[in-house]
Structure 1
């Protein structure tokens, strides 16, 4: 066997080429001398109910976990045996893991260890079910190891040892962590393993909270440098058929480190398990909290899925608007500039309207925020048009993607292109406007309402290829339903509207009583007393803004 040379190693095409192939030799025995490294042994020997592993890439923890899971599933109930469910972030990891288990079952447990592919029934929160591709190894003990191709919606429905691999890269990290905690009630055990994905990721937050004494996880920090110290290079040589030498070790190590070039933060995150400050969440919790102020109303309205068939839906919508939104509009200062942004949604996500008012020193404050869930198209249009009819000195930017396009176009047709802009947000548009929005939050010139949902929405803005973009994640809000950064996008659209000056129409609306709550604004923006017997329409043409 020949040792690698510096001339050979740099020719390898990717970082993964520097590590062993995923298929184990037929006679590979994980319990033989010189196979398991010290950090793998420490991980397996840790019998804590809750375990956290922050790891560098390809340091062998999934291998060690597969061996431990094989031993657990092969044991009897009296010896601590149990079912094991492995949940990766991508399908390929599930296949690699179950191959390890099948191999270990034959070599270590002396069982046939046949890998079976089947459809796993995942019960959804609404009572429906879906089928997930899964693989299992059944043991004579009666227990099994199951690897799923994707994350189940109902992790709480699993029971036994649950392993979440690359947790920081799951679509909804926080929801995964919340769900597995319910397993402890019936004696389950939890293993959460991951490399890092930014300092503000929920996986890193869990580690910090555990160190602060808020959770009882045992923590393992497994950087690439520790794995190298524990013999990772020698294991690579064993799998590759190389003869380990000092020169070969240095060449291999140099190639791994130099594969990242000048991207030192990316290298430290992937190899040394040090979370990047410049990746992951673009608008961290501390920044959003700094911009939040008490007393800014958030007005939610949620209706049933069949509300769009209700013949009284428009009357209900008008009553809701009159009770909850019209008083907020009446309280605005008609002499100040206003902006409106809306992130439109019909179902699934929220439809959020943000109205902001200009203050002193170029400081803008959200005046109120409306959150609509499952509200029909026609009722949403009524709400938007009423708001724009009653605002003074305003500009609006509306989400014109997907279903929002018809909504935004109708507003532009009614109020004109000088007042309403239809925005089809692209990666370039986000890259242009998100830095300005973040700067406004940092210097206190854009103020937000209080609330965990507002924070959660803004934390879904992430860096992608170095530029701010919306994450694909959905997070569960305070109402128990999912959100997708909706108020952050509405706020961004509203803030982008502050760059332009609203067109002046050469008039000032009549002053409204400051303390009176009787009456309201008519469609022309004028205050009318509660009893107004005058005709609603004159014979003269009615122009927006009045004559």
Structure 2
């Protein structure tokens, strides 16, 4: 191999042949794949699963590549000497495997400045590559990254002082084509690292979050690789014993240290004060509860009953939507024990969201639920799309709406912990930033308050309150996700029968199709 590598060489280099396992485990490969496509990646991880070891390979390939192939300098920022030494040793190992022409590790003085502008020296380690780029590992954080370019890695970021300020400096590098990786275990729910994760997941900050728990690592072959490299017995019994020992070692801290669950994550996910601050009497909740045995009544009677509700409680409030803005819908399905709730809203020019109408349907047959949904959607001037709760019996209604309005507009969503983890923070962020307005309604407020943070994931407990189960939260979460649907504006220019004014005067005889005297045959 030559002294200069290119990024596409990675799979051929790091994946072993024969029956040996991949040098990089799947979760390490996922991180490297994200770094290849994203400028800002935030990785919340378990301890001691080899993520730093994995990212060292990407650091070497990045610094070893020519600029045209994506090469750039790499700056590693830990918070002590041991971390810097460990990372540079890992990089030296990868460099020896990938490009023997790289220099040996050397110590040098990294020039920084204090807040007063005085010079400050930081001990650092460096590997030079034939590409002209370096990997630099600092033994403590610099005050400024001014003048630096390239790939910046913040390791164990939750334990850095002034992480917010460091991120501001690092993000400036993105404007010059650089990359930033923020990787850490958690250190409390109020930590700047956890706030960064919430900002990225909610869409406030552009980037992507990768979550790798100890369970994820074990499922991806962590134990088997450790057994191979360290001589551990590779049997199911030995594996179970080792995992149990690790869990016991961390004890009460296992959730935070191994399962990516920051401490202090308990109680209501969204405060009552935050919800109430976003409520207004200008918006409306339309409710219809069908009497017992309603599904046995004649079809026409059922349709008339529901249509009266639509005419009196729904249509007047749809007219308050802005016809110049796109409208979306979120639906949480229920039939008997739970409510069906429709949240109809629009995103404003300032990216705030208004939800002028929510519709609650209780004990309503699916046919009449479809009647309500069809009436609402066909009455919208500019319908963007909707996301429907397709968990359980909700799938049938979602599929029927897809047939009527198109699969590109109606998405059937299987609600899961992963979905709540990805989209729940957006709901919370809107309330905390007061960038959403909805009806002043005690039941809707209680639905928002029903959500708890369980093992780091917004979760609706099984308990019901007044027959409700956080239904409005789900509908709102799906609405906000639907409003972020990408779309293509369709336009057309009508050509008059006489042609455009700038036509060259040539005539075209119409012999078939629209405008002809006779049919095509």
Question: Please, what TM-score do these two structures have when normalized by structure 2?
Answer: 0.47
